Amino acid sequence: PLTPSLSPRKRTTSQSKTEPPLLRTSKRTIYTAGRPPWYNETGIPFKEAFVIGLCGGSASGKTTVANKIIEALDVPWVVLLSMDSFYKVLNKEKQEQAACNEYNFDHPDAFDFDLLISVLRKLKEGKSVKVPVYDFTTHSRSKEWKIIYGANVIVFEGILSFANKELLQLLDMKVFVDTDSDIRLVRRLKRDIMERGRDVSGVIKQYSKFVKPAFEQYIEPTMQAADIVVPRGGENFVALDLIVQHVHSQLEKREITVRAALASAHQGQPLPTTLSVLESTPQVRGMHTIIRNKDTSRDEFIFYSKRLMRLLIEHALSFLPLKPVTVETPQGTIYDGKRFHRQR
């Protein structure tokens, strides 16, 4: 069941450089930097990462919803990608406008959609990407970009997540977080004053001039593109449970398909000539039986795994070029062995 255990966002940059690439919950650790690429039966990178798109007004609770979905999904590899990272680099004139709360950060033109689409597409393909780090206090990008990788699930959140047709095509599930405008205003005041160094009058001025009109013109109409609308944001545990159940079912279908394809890919074909199989002796079969037994204790599992690894390494070393050698031990005993013979 979902529980309100995660703390709210507290940051001044779009992606924290000091934040570890994981999310710790009460039960487990979830790696949020993604995982190395996976491959299908033909050796081509697997392109079936499930992308969840979260859209909603400013301070509607998108990040909270994203974190609660990640916690409830209980899958090991997740990427959380924020649209905040893809604000365009402002020139000196626009930076001065931003400092005076005269720049519209809620307009589609404020975002670098070309870079965003490129990054999300590569993540969906399981490739590593570099994500810009945007500093909200200076309205500029950091020199150091954050490297993240593909994953089983990609959670993408932003105020204009549904505003671009090409971007919509990359989303497997579209969720709109619908929160009352008064609540969003209060949250924005608290966030911008406490975390981004703004003053009350400046925040209200920006909200009235840019944020509210942009929501009505660009954000609210995209609600019709959503598969699910979540009222009350992160407090709606019923809606979050439904989202998690659907994602689980989709991941299960994809995993079953991939495993079946991998299992049957080379049936009936001989093993490659470069592959050497350790002889299945009674000793090896006995260790396999113990290791695979679900009732085997932790200590026994480690002990027999190390024994099996020792045999495997010895078998692998036997393929190295060796030459006979006779040595005398410190005790005066003659020992016949082998030494690595480097081929020049």
Q: According to the model, what pLDDT value does residue 35 have? A: 55
The more confidently predicted of residues 274 and 213 is 213
Shared-domain flag, residues 322 and 240 = no
Both structure tokens of 271 = 């093993």
Shared-domain flag, residues 77 and 221 = yes
Quote the CA–CA distance of 34 and 54 in Å, as a whole number: 19
* Assigned domain for 323 exists: yes
Report pLDDT digits (tens) over 286-330.
999 999 999 999 999 999 999 999 999 999 988 888 889 999 999
* Assigned domain for 308 exists: yes
Shared-domain flag, residues 108 and 204 = yes
Q: How many domains does the chain have?
A: 2
Q: According to the model, what pLDDT value does residue 57 have? A: 93
Shared-domain flag, residues 185 and 301 = no
Q: Is the pLDDT of residue 218 over 90?
A: yes
Q: According to the model, what pLDDT value does residue 73 have? A: 84
Q: What is the pTM of this model?
A: 0.67
Q: Range of 230's domain?
A: 50-257
Residues in Cβ contact with 284 at an 8 Å cutoff, skipping those fewer than 6 apart? 278, 308, 311
User: What confidence category does residue 3 fall into, taking pLDDT thresholds of 50, 70 and 90?
Assistant: very low
- In the sheet that 228-231 helps form, which strands lie side by side, from edge to edge? 78-82, 153-158, 50-56, 173-178, 228-231
* Assigned domain for 39 exists: no
> Exposure of 94 by Cβ count < 10 A (0-12 exposed, 13-18 middle, 19+ buried)?
middle
Closest CA to 197 of 1, 321, 13: 13
Shared-domain flag, residues 90 and 145 = yes
* Assigned domain for 40 exists: no
* Assigned domain for 44 exists: no
Q: According to the model, what pLDDT value does residue 5 have? A: 42
Shared-domain flag, residues 175 and 302 = no
Report pLDDT digits (tens) over 103-154.
999 999 999 999 999 999 999 888 889 999 988 777 788 888 998 877 788 9
* Assigned domain for 295 exists: yes
CA 290 vs CA 279, 293, 309: distances in Å: 17, 5, 14
Q: According to the model, what pLDDT value does residue 162 have? A: 96
3-state helix, strand, coil in the chain (%, to 5): 40, 20, 40
Shared-domain flag, residues 88 and 130 = yes
The more confidently predicted of residues 63 and 175 is 175
Q: Residue 225 maps to which CATH number?
A: 3.40.50.300
Shared-domain flag, residues 165 and 238 = yes
User: What confidence category does residue 55 fall into, taking pLDDT thresholds of 50, 70 and 90?
Assistant: very high
Shared-domain flag, residues 249 and 305 = no
Report pLDDT digits (tens) over 319-332.
888 889 999 999 99
Mean pLDDT across 224-247: 91
CA 333 vs CA 232, 324, 326, 336, 340: distances in Å: 81, 17, 10, 10, 21
* Assigned domain for 269 exists: no
- Hey, is 221 helix, strand or coil? helix
